[in-house]
Amino acid sequence: MAGKNGDIFSDVAEEGPSGIINKIFPKMISQSTAKDWINRRRSHIRPWSNFVDQRRFSRPPNFGELCKRVTGNVEHFQSNYIFIFLGLILYCIITSPMLLIALSVFFGACYIIYLRTQQSKMVLFGRELSMANQYGLAGAVSFPFFWLAGAGAAVFWVLGATLAVIGSHASFHEIEGDVEELQMEPV
């Protein structure tokens, strides 16, 4: 499948990175859905000055207050916590060159599979492969690279760091004034 200039990659260069991702993973998530989700998260971000205001941090007096703080703050600062999680993922990928190489191998294999399926159906041992099988093949090819890069440890580091940061913030940050509290009335 050649582009306008007869070059396989000429149409990819014209479309940019988002066009490549949409071609490789067409049915998984649409670009408009991702943009809508990100815009919704951005619109619900609480001001970072309130998020890190040191005057609003204190030790909860009892376990009930701790639980109330955690649930209230997770609901109130949900978008801020999501961006902290994404930032920790980005930090982990940037600081691990082998993980960056493994991700490049995986997405490169997906792109090669995409190019091959544009030319003809992919057949292995006389059987036509579905899209799920093809991406599974890309995962199998890149698995040794992920294993060598320590991707499992990176995943658990990101989860642990996220739980520690978000848990400590949600526990020690006083609940914002606009969070409604449910109270039971006597009957």
Confirm whether 5 is domain-assigned: no
- Region 22-40: what's the mean pLDDT? 67
Confirm whether 31 is domain-assigned: yes
Specify the DSSP element, H or E, that contains 124: strand 123-124
What pLDDT, on a 0 to 100 scale, did the predictor assign at position 18? 52
Q: How many domains does the chain have?
A: 1
Confirm whether 179 is domain-assigned: no
Joined together, the tokens standing for residue 155 give 């995943």
Confirm whether 54 is domain-assigned: yes
Confirm whether 180 is domain-assigned: no
Strand partners, 128: 123
Q: Point out the least confidently predicted range of 31-45, 52-66, 69-83.
A: 31-45
- Region 149-178: what's the mean pLDDT? 88
pTM assigned to the model:
0.65
Pick from 107-116, 129-138, 150-159 the range whose average pLDDT is largest.
Answer: 150-159
Using a pLDDT cut of 70, give the percent of the chain over it: 78
With tokens 């990819």, the residue in question is 12
Give the chain's length.
187
- Region 4-9: what's the mean pLDDT? 46
Cα 110 from Cα 12, distance rounded (Å): 14
Listed residue (103, 72, 93, 82) closest to 181, CA to CA: 72
Confirm whether 127 is domain-assigned: yes
Using a pLDDT cut of 90, give the percent of the chain over it: 18
Domain containing 145: what range? 10-172
Confirm whether 177 is domain-assigned: no
What pLDDT, on a 0 to 100 scale, did the predictor assign at position 19? 55
Whether residue 79 is predicted with pLDDT greater than 70 in this model: the reply is yes
Whether residue 54 is predicted with pLDDT greater than 90 in this model: the reply is no
Quick one: how many helices (H) and strands (E) in the chain?
A: 9, 2
Confirm whether 93 is domain-assigned: yes
What pLDDT, on a 0 to 100 scale, did the predictor assign at position 164? 95
Q: What is the pLDDT of residues 129-150, one digit of tens each?
A: 787 888 888 888 888 888 988 8
pLDDT band, residue 87 (cuts 50/70/90): very high
- The rounded Cα 129 to chain-centroid distance in angstroms is 28
Q: Point out the least confidently predicted range of 18-22, 42-46, 107-111, 177-181.
A: 177-181
What pLDDT, on a 0 to 100 scale, did the predictor assign at position 10? 45
